[in-house]
Amino acid sequence: MEVRGVNPYESVVAMARRFGEMGAAKDNQYYKSRKGLALGEKENDKVIARSESAVVSNTCKSEVLGGIASLRKEHPSSPMSRTNMFKQMEKVGSTPGAAGVPRQLNPNSIKDALLRWVQNRINDYPNVNVTNFSSSWADGMAFCALIHRFAPHSFDFSKLDPANRRQNFDLAFKVAEDNGIFPLLEVDDMIMMGDRPDWKCVFTYVQSFYKQFRDRP
């Protein structure tokens, strides 16, 4: 799938910033409107919200049908909430440089900073070992652990089975949406990508968790 104006070699951070600046506010608008609509309108509005979501690039696998892989053809100007998120992440992940000045993070450093943020919050969960943004998330347990960390009363994590991938993804994504995480990934997306999901898709979705919960211990 070719998206006009997208450089396939552009860094994921640059792409996330570009699309975030264009579509983040629109995402929030549709998310809020969806929550307030009557039951009979929810399915139709979900399609609208998905088509209006402007995140990641065509580097996500082209077979993915929904969520992150569904890009808008036109993007209105909007407040840069995802850009602000990256600035916040740079502060969290930066270390003092010369004369106590924080160093600027490069794309790999930002990726590592987000990975450390995840590890620090779910490293004590059983059947969860997050070392990357691909295979570590393939069975859904990491997603379940991450949302359970911030919504511990939503479900009993001890009853989850890594073999039940679809059930794990469905549970994690639903609870995440109930707690303010826009549904950028879909269950079928993750099932289709198998044991090594596209790390850029996972990375972009996990950014939403950071944005929502970064101020919580």
Looking at the 3D structure of the chain, how many domains does it have? 1
Structure tokens given for 124 = 């004590």
Q: What is the structure's pLDDT at 29?
A: 55
| 86 within domain boundaries | no
Please write the tens of the pLDDT for every residue from 195-216: 999 999 999 999 999 999 999 8
**Strands, E assignment, 41-181:** none
| 37 within domain boundaries | yes
Rounded to two decimals, what is the model's pTM?
Answer: 0.60
- We report the CATH number of the domain holding residue 45 as 1.10.418.10
Please write the tens of the pLDDT for every residue from 128-187: 999 999 999 999 999 999 999 999 999 999 999 999 999 999 999 999 999 999 999 999
- Domain hosting 124: range is 12-81+105-213
Query: Contact 113/92 with Cβ under 8 angstroms?
Result: yes
Please write the tens of the pLDDT for every residue from 123-142: 999 999 999 999 999 999 99
| 145 within domain boundaries | yes
Length reported for the chain: 217
Query: Contact 91/215 with Cβ under 8 angstroms?
Result: no
Q: What is the structure's pLDDT at 126?
A: 97
Q: Which amino acid is at 143?
A: F
Structure tokens given for 182 = 């826009």
| 3 within domain boundaries | no
| 180 within domain boundaries | yes
Q: How far apart are CA 82 and CA 28, in angstroms?
A: 11
Matching residue, tokens 């101020």: 215
Residue whose C-alpha is closest to residue 93's, from 72, 75, 116: 116
| 92 within domain boundaries | no
Q: How far apart are CA 100 and CA 83, in angstroms?
A: 24
Structure tokens given for 76 = 């209105």
| 170 within domain boundaries | yes
| 128 within domain boundaries | yes
